[in-house]
Amino acid sequence: MSQTLSTDETLQNDMPIRVGVIMGSQSDWDTMRHACEILDDLGIAHEKRIVSAHRTPDRLVEYAKTARQRGLHVIIAGAGGAAHLPGMCSAWTSIPVLGVPVQSRALNGQDSLLSIVQMPGGVPVGTLAIGKAGATNAGLLAASILSVTDARVMARLDAWRATQTAAVADVPVE
């Protein structure tokens, strides 16, 4: 669902980048773009990067270790298969990390889900659903986290939710 809210159009422009969206591969973009679309709809400035736990491990360490000092409040990390990106990201930073299991070809995303959700106690990753729904909800959850301290984000998020509710028909059409 894509909604564009018209109130406070300046929010994205004058808001520092608080959300980082990272993914293990270009092939994850088809899924992760749904998180970015939600953030765009809500006017939340964000950055997006390809960061692979396996192919670019130094990039991962640099990204995660500097996230807080660069002003990020939330990281959304999507990966598929042996999806170590969200967990390793959380190992390097204490800002919230939301993990999105990308639907893999071989095991339909169950491998991604279990790789992300089964973190050892002490290193948390907030794990979302497999695929598009998970990416969409990661965007909304990132907005929820920001809304605790940003009244403009809260207003936009509440409006987004109200619009969604109003769009649900009472009866199904034939």
Does residue number 25 form part of the binding site for ligand RP5 (CB under 6 A)? yes
Instruction: List binders of ligand RP5 among 85-114 (CB under 6 A).
Output: 102
> Minimum distance between the CB of residue 73 and ligand RP5, rounded to whole angstroms?
23
Q: Which is nearer to ligand RP5, 67 or 102 (CB)?
A: 102
Q: From 62, 46, 53, select the one nearest 102 (Cα to Cα).
A: 53
Does residue number 131 form part of the binding site for ligand RP5 (CB under 6 A)? no
Give the full edge-to-edge strand order of the sheet including 126-127. 46-50, 19-23, 74-80, 97-102, 126-127
C-alpha 23/C-alpha 32 separation (Å) is: 7
Q: Which is nearer to ligand RP5, 44 or 130 (CB)?
A: 130
Q: Does residue 28 have a known ligand-binding role?
A: yes
What angle, rounded to 10 degrees, do the helices at 132-147 and 29-41 form? 30
Binding site, annotated residues for substrate: 25, 28, 55
Residue ranges of the annotated binding site are: 25, 28, 55
